[in-house]
Amino acid sequence: MNGLFVSFEGVDGVGKTTQVERLRAYLEAQGRTVVVTREPGGTALGKAIRQLLLHGVDGGAVDIAPRAEALLFAADRAQHVAETIRPALERGEVVITDRYLDSSLAYQAGGRELTPEEIRSLSMWATNNLLPDRTYLLDMDPALSHHRLEHAEDRMESAGDDFQSRTRQAFLDLAAAEPNRFRVIDASQSIEAVWAAIESDIKERIESQMQGLSPLYLAVDGTVVGVLGIEDPLKPGVREAIADLHALGVKHVVMLTGDSERTAERIAREAGVDEFKAELLPEDKYAYVERIKSEGRHVAMVGDGVNDSPALGLADVGLAMGGGSDIAKEVADIILTDTDLAAIVRLRRMSQGLVDRLTSSYSKVMLTNSVLLALGITGAITPQASSLLHNGSTIAYSLDNAKAYLR
């Protein structure tokens, strides 16, 4: 399963730590391995940088220049991503970070009056363009949130009301610019209400991550310890075969399957079919073919299982795959010796070529017979010669057509 990267943002005192821990507990109960971290300070190097940024040199106040501050945050983030975040994501784990790139953009570009372009370029370079899958912005008036602080204010927290207000607005501007990544939550609500909003969203996020996969939950002594996503991969060559069928004049390719809607949607998208129907029983497939035929369309049905048999028997042309069930082969009109869709493409090309040759031969025979008949009537040639030439031309056309099957 792919990793999931979640960040929490907002001014100080909005309750990020509380919600980070709630999310950790929730995801671990779902069987996910969770790494909780923070910025600055997510690594040994980061802790040293955090001490410098928040408390100055040797515990004494220090006026860090804006550009120097930006470089310190970027150094912390580069080490954080390389040492903690990216390895965990590659292992398929969930990473939850208390602050990330957006804090730099809000505090340094918004609060310190550096340009957003400078900060973003520096941060994206430091992280090798790694952004969170989801960012929760816990929003609250800084004048209210700072009353929640239970510790002495650090250098950032004591920067003044105007700085904090600019920072809050910078966060909101970032969220407006990237609505697909951000979820803005009113942090002035109760802790339970804030968590309810996060829980609802993360459920949807996890479900989307599992899209097209069948989840298998692993439990030990009744406790979920892991989730496996089982994928039914698309067979090699299927997409190319569908494209070839379209090019050969097959106007509408439909996938009928008993798989779940999500799995069917993924496979249909990868295969390039025009339409799909999921979660079908054998009678549903039969009813679909029946409806299409009632609309006056010709239907070729390809199947290999027992549940495909009723529809195979009803279709204008039923094609059973070589590795299919005996009953599917019994009711089908054609049994393909191969087990891939490329065999259908070859069959379509062969049948189309046969039709083209028959049409061409018919035209040639009719023209030749008409000429020979005219010559015989006018006395230009004898009836015996006309008959001989007629038979000879028929044999010649037949041999010419046979070459296509002897190649």
Q: How many CA atoms lie within 13 A of 74 on its CB side?
A: 19
| 98 lies in the same domain as 68 | yes
| 212 lies in the same domain as 283 | no
Rounded distance, CA 242 to CA 23, Å? 44
**Do residues 108 and 66 lie in contact, with contact meaning Cβ atoms separated by under 8 Å?**
yes
| 382 lies in the same domain as 322 | no
Asked if residue 233 belongs to a domain, the reply is: no
Rounded distance, CA 93 to CA 24, Å? 12
Q: What is the pLDDT of residue 160?
A: 54
Rounded distance, CA 198 to CA 19, Å? 8
| 54 lies in the same domain as 196 | yes
Asked if residue 188 belongs to a domain, the reply is: yes
Asked if residue 279 belongs to a domain, the reply is: yes
Task: For residue range 135-183, list pLDDT tens digits in order.
Answer: 999 999 988 876 555 545 544 444 556 888 888 999 999 999 999 999 9
| 16 lies in the same domain as 131 | yes
Asked if residue 126 belongs to a domain, the reply is: yes
Asked if residue 138 belongs to a domain, the reply is: yes
Give the number of residues written for the chain: 407
| 315 lies in the same domain as 375 | no
pTM of the predicted structure, to 2 decimals: 0.55
| 168 lies in the same domain as 278 | no
Strands (E), 187-346: 214-220, 223-230, 254-256, 275-277, 300-303, 317-320, 334-335
**Do residues 219 and 225 lie in contact, with contact meaning Cβ atoms separated by under 8 Å?**
yes
pLDDT tens per residue, the chain (407 residues)? Answer: 578 999 999 998 899 999 999 999 999 988 889 999 998 888 889 888 888 877 666 655 567 788 888 888 889 999 999 999 999 999 989 999 999 999 988 887 655 567 888 888 998 999 999 999 999 999 999 888 765 555 455 444 445 568 888 889 999 999 999 999 999 999 999 999 999 999 999 988 877 666 666 667 777 887 766 667 777 777 888 888 888 888 888 889 999 998 878 778 878 888 889 999 999 999 999 999 999 999 999 999 998 888 899 999 999 999 888 777 888 888 889 888 877 778 888 877 877 777 777 777 677 777 777 777 777 777 778 777 767 776 777 777 667 666 655 55
Pick the last residue of a domain from 345, 363, 387: 345
Asked if residue 294 belongs to a domain, the reply is: yes
Domain count of the fold of the chain: 3
Pick the last residue of a domain from 345, 361, 388: 345
Pick the last residue of a domain from 182, 206, 226: 226
Rounded distance, CA 156 to CA 54, Å? 6
| 245 lies in the same domain as 211 | no
Domain harbouring 321, CATH code: 3.40.50.1000
Asked if residue 232 belongs to a domain, the reply is: no
Residue 57 per-residue DSSP state: B
| 193 lies in the same domain as 248 | no
CB contact burial 118-155 (16+ within 10 A = b; e otherwise):
ebbebbeebbeebebbbbbbbbbebeebbeeeeeeeeb
Domain harbouring 93, CATH code: 3.40.50.300
| 109 lies in the same domain as 221 | yes
Domain residues for 398?
A: 351-406
| 259 lies in the same domain as 118 | no
| 268 lies in the same domain as 383 | no
Q: What is the pLDDT of residue 151?
A: 47
Asked if residue 231 belongs to a domain, the reply is: no
Give the contacts of 26 (CB within 8 A, at least 6 positions apart): 199, 202
